[in-house]
Structure 1
Amino acid sequence: MKHLCSLLWLAALLCTIPMITKAQVPPEENDANLSELLYRPIKPTAKVMEGVEPSIQQRPVANPAIRGNVNVRALKAAPKWNRISDNNGQMISADNLHLLPPNKVTVMKGNAPSFCTTPTVTIGCCGYSIKDQVANKSLFYASPASIFNNEADARTFAESLTPKLPFFMPFKNNKVYPAGAWIYDSGSGHGSVDFLKTSDAYGPGIDPSFGVYASASGKVVTAMWDPFFGNVVIIEHTAADGTRYRTGYFHLRDGFDHDLQNAKNTPVSDPSNKDARDTKYKKFANLPNPSKQLWGTNDQKLKVKAGDMVAAGQQIAWAGNTGFGGAGWGLNQDGTPSDPNTGNNHLHFMLWIKSPNPATGVDWMEVDAYGVYAKSDNSNSDCYEVGANSAFNRFFAPFYPSFHNVPVEHVIRYWGYYTSMGMGLQTLSVHKSGSKYLASGSFQYGLPSQWYCRINMTSAQYQQYFDEYYGKGYIPRQISVTNDNSGNPLFTVIWKLRGGENFAAVHNLTDDAYAAKWKAYVEQGKMRVTEHVVYYAGGKRYHAGVFGSSNPGGFYMYYGMNTSDFTKKFDEMNKAGLMTVNVNIEENGSQNNVGGLWWPRNKAYYSYMNMSPADYQAKFTDLTAQGYQLFRIQGYDNSSHFAAIWMK
């Protein structure tokens, strides 16, 4: 360890194992796994989005489960080397399934499937003025029919729309589903989507409300009472390229006393019309002993005001039934709710873009956030699922930019969702659950704009794309390996634009073959390891990785360690001023070994392994709130555990 002394001048950013607890959510919420929430099927059934894994004590690197003893092979490098200039970059020992196009791919689209109602863009809803409290003036919000003279033009325009920033579901409760869509069952326009709880999530004495969250970051421009819409929040969102959107949240709660008094003060256009929604709504407000189950409590108030800046996923309100446009459809003539358990409690959610033709008098035009433009009847419920074909782009994110256990076909299908916004792929791990392939990774801003990624390549395909991208000036940056159903290795690789360094990339090397390359490139060529993974095929251990000449300091690399020995080595390296840049779980049937790669520490970081999906979500939530970004992730043990590194 004497040769590490020269590294101690680096900032001593001690990596400790923190005590992390899951972020608190309101007790009324049944919080779902945030990564899984957006891509699991959304159907109006009593069983929608169930089965969230309960939180258990996580097992960090400092205290991992012991998987058994194996032979340890330590590969160590001197702290300083001169770069070399005689290696031209090569793929060594190249010896076949799912391919991912480069990062320039657009969102995939297709014809609407047969179970979807033929989309009708122009049948949105209405035209109405709502005050922009920040601008202090009323603005006109309307359907595409107010702007386009015919359906063909409206469809052409709608097909051209792509999201310029991510929009997330405005709820986190795993009992909520979309019940009302662009067109009502009757065929009349709705121009939005209604969200409410499944029937098994409410009953006598059970609050039918749920938390409402900002769909994207932005500025609150309206937070007020309207007799028809009830309590309304409108948020304006601005993408990096300047594109502006607005989202609207209607029929919200703002405290029992406030909402009841405003309902009682609702002006009635024709008191003699017993079927009018405003008449029934006023009767509803004047029923004796109004139910807090239906009206909410004084604690359930709007959490924002006009002028506030909000973050995506920040709670802004509670769903309700305020305004005669919210409750009126669910009331009998005498003002009693047709469903006494809900009183038509729901969230009416709207997405608008700036009007493509302000000369029409329309300031903001309605857009279907699902990109379906279909009817609300149950035959169309599959149209809202991630992966459903549609002629239009989906604005709701198919999964979060940092995601885990997402079916790999969803990552491939919606590849352009984040890349078209200027995000790059920091890390990607493909791992199996039974015979299915799942993916975990992170799209992030601030990464180099030039890169490539390919998913589940065979050895021959990896060689093919290595040659192609090397010819374009790219080298592998990160490698993930899983196996096909026959046990053959499949490679998922992220390439970066090559600088002036020389390098050599290897895969499918046995221990002895890798040791020979180590001797040639590290001991003789004075290169360092920039990437290394161990995997098994046919019961035999293999190596893949990259050697590079760019060497700002010494490094250590170990593989084949049991978790107890790895933990000791982790602590030793941390105290010596090095940081973990890769923790590689080496899966070999029921026995896992561990390898690691350490570089001189120049930033704060956290490294954990043996985390369950729930543990990983809790860690991610806490560490990102502290300003850390996911640096690397690996899923393993049939996708039931994760190893991850965060850096700041």
Structure 2
Amino acid sequence: MRTFASIAAATSIAAALVAVTGPTADAQAAPAFSAYHGVTGEQQTERFTTLRGQGYRPITFTVDDASSPRYGAVWVKESGPAWAMIQGMSPSGYQKRFNDYLAQGYRPTTVSATGSGDDAVFAAIFEKVSGKFFAKHGIGADQFAAANADAARRGYVLTAANVYGTADEPRYAGVWTQGSQAWSVTTGKTFSEHHAEFLTRTKNGEKPSLVTVGPGETYTTVWVKDGGPAWYEYTGMTSSGYQKRFDELKAKGFFPTQLDVEEGRYTALWAKS
């Protein structure tokens, strides 16, 4: 998962926008990208085959609606480590894939799930990259908080996260990677709580490195303090709202680096291409 201080505005609909100014990327180095959302499993397979054949690699992947899964992803045309992109997994199926790829030197860099219990549907990107990590899924809020605290003590950073299940019983999936970056996480915030947290954090020089939306439209966010290229964040978007923001930001030279959806509500981070 990849994410790349002046506050621009808050939109009149349920979507928070922040643009952070920074050095712009060299236009010659800007990656070609392809993005889509709301596609069926069959359409996702078709996009996978086409884009992989054209030399693209996925950088973010999300699934919504366990009864009739819909997928969204962003792909970039650039070199990188070996990767695998898997859709339509049950919880046990995800665990099996995890074990199989772990044995081959891969780790999950994006994990998304929707639904609850044995009916949950998982989607993930695995990459063959070195370094220590640990991962958990199907855990409750208290276990997730304990895992974050343990990770911070041991020098790990939460680099992938997703919330699924139900509003009353959310379940968390996370991947923690060894690293030295300072970070913190807020969990289960409502839209207004997340926006208020966002305003405070950005004034202090922090930014979200990932945002995931959970059942009941709650937001879990990893915050970091570092510089970097210009970026935007939108939350609380409908499918059409996400498409509108996508079109506006593409025209300004931005592309989504992280995308997540749950119960039809989208959240995304954009970086300068």
Instruction: Check if 1:593 corresponds to 2:224.
Output: no
Instruction: Check if 1:505 corresponds to 2:118.
Output: no
Give the distance between the partners of 1:493 and 1:17, measured in 2 at CA.
33
Q: Which amino acid aligns with 1:431?
A: D
Q: CA deviation at 1:487?
A: 6.7
Instruction: Check if 1:16 corresponds to 2:7.
Output: yes
User: Contact (CA 8 Å) 1:582, 1:597: kept in 2 or not?
Assistant: yes
SS of the residue aligned with 1:415? helix
Residue 559 of structure 1 corresponds to which residue in structure 2?
A: 187
Residues 529-566 of structure 1 show CA distances to partners (whole Å, capped at 9, x for unaligned) of 11222222594222210111122x21121101122221
Residues 338-394 of structure 1 show CA distances to partners (whole Å, capped at 9, x for unaligned) of xxxxxxxxxxxxxxxxxxxxxxxxxxxxxxxxxxxxxxxxxxxxxxxxxxxxxxxxx
Residues 412-452 of structure 1 show CA distances to partners (whole Å, capped at 9, x for unaligned) of 1342101111101111111128x322111112112525111
Q: Decide whether aligned partners of structure 1 residues 442 and 60 sit closer, same or farther in structure 2, where only a CA change above 3 A counts.
A: same
Match of 1:549 among 160, 168, 178: 178
Q: CA deviation at 1:570?
A: 0.8
User: Identity over aligned residues, as a percent?
Assistant: 20
Residues 284-337 of structure 1 show CA distances to partners (whole Å, capped at 9, x for unaligned) of xxxxxxxxxxxxxxxxxxxxxxxxxxxxxxxxxxxxxxxxxxxxxxxxxxxxxx
The structure richer in helix per residue is 2
Q: CA deviation at 1:462?
A: 1.3
Match of 1:450 among 75, 82, 95: 82
Residues 148-167 of structure 1 show CA distances to partners (whole Å, capped at 9, x for unaligned) of xxxxxxxxxxxxxxxxxxxx
Residues 87-132 of structure 1 show CA distances to partners (whole Å, capped at 9, x for unaligned) of xxxxxxxxxxxxxxxxxxxxxxxxxxxxxxxxxxxxxxxxxxxxxx
Q: Decide whether aligned partners of structure 1 residues 19 and 556 sit closer, same or farther in structure 2, where only a CA change above 3 A counts.
A: closer
Q: CA deviation at 1:512?
A: 2.9
Give the distance between the partners of 1:538 and 1:60, measured in 2 at CA.
20
Residue 569 of structure 1 corresponds to which residue in structure 2?
A: 197
SS of the residue aligned with 1:401? strand
Match of 2:169 among 531, 540, 560: 540
Q: Decide whether aligned partners of structure 1 residues 514 and 419 sit closer, same or farther in structure 2, where only a CA change above 3 A counts.
A: same
Give the distance between the partners of 2:9 and 2:149, measured in 1 at CA.
38
Q: How does 1:277-426 map to 2 (within 5 A)?
A: 401-426=34-59
Residue 345 of structure 1 corresponds to which residue in structure 2?
A: none
Give the distance between the partners of 1:451 and 1:559, measured in 2 at CA.
29
Residues 460-503 of structure 1 show CA distances to partners (whole Å, capped at 9, x for unaligned) of 1111111111122111111111127x77322211112222x211
User: Contact (CA 8 Å) 2:229, 2:271: kept in 1 or not?
Assistant: yes
Residues 247-288 of structure 1 show CA distances to partners (whole Å, capped at 9, x for unaligned) of xxxxxxxxxxxxxxxxxxxxxxxxxxxxxxxxxxxxxxxxxx
Residue 646 of structure 1 corresponds to which residue in structure 2?
A: 270
Match of 2:150 among 502, 505, 520: 520
SS of the residue aligned with 1:556? strand
User: Contact (CA 8 Å) 1:586, 1:594: kept in 2 or not?
Assistant: yes
Q: CA deviation at 1:62?
A: 5.4
TM-score by length of 2: 0.83
Match of 1:488 among 98, 119, 137: 119
Q: How does 1:431-446 map to 2 (within 5 A)?
A: 431-432=64-65, 435-446=67-78
The structure richer in strand per residue is 2
Give the distance between the partners of 1:15 and 1:491, measured in 2 at CA.
37
TM-score by length of 1: 0.37
Aligned residues: 254
SS of the residue aligned with 1:606? strand
Q: Which amino acid aligns with 1:450?
A: A
Give the distance between the partners of 2:82 and 2:188, measured in 1 at CA.
34
Q: Provide structure 1 residue ranges, at least 5 long, that are not aligned to the other structure.
A: 1-12, 21-56, 64-399
Q: Which amino acid aligns with 1:427?
A: T
User: Contact (CA 8 Å) 2:137, 2:171: kept in 1 or not?
Assistant: yes
**4+ aligned runs moved over 6 Å, structure 1:** none
User: Contact (CA 8 Å) 1:426, 1:447: kept in 2 or not?
Assistant: no
Residues 48-71 of structure 1 show CA distances to partners (whole Å, capped at 9, x for unaligned) of xxxxxxxxx6432259xxxxxxxx
User: Contact (CA 8 Å) 1:408, 1:430: kept in 2 or not?
Assistant: no
Give the distance between the partners of 2:239 and 2:41, measured in 1 at CA.
17
Q: CA deviation at 1:516?
A: 3.4
User: Contact (CA 8 Å) 2:81, 2:127: kept in 1 or not?
Assistant: no
Residue 467 of structure 1 corresponds to which residue in structure 2?
A: 99
Residue 246 of structure 2 corresponds to which residue in structure 1?
A: 620
Residue 60 of structure 1 corresponds to which residue in structure 2?
A: 15
User: Contact (CA 8 Å) 2:44, 2:71: kept in 1 or not?
Assistant: yes
Q: Which amino acid aligns with 2:146?
A: A
Q: How does 1:205-216 map to 2 (within 5 A)?
A: none
Give the distance between the partners of 1:429 and 1:646, measured in 2 at CA.
15
User: Contact (CA 8 Å) 1:17, 1:60: kept in 2 or not?
Assistant: no
Q: Which amino acid aligns with 2:241?
A: D
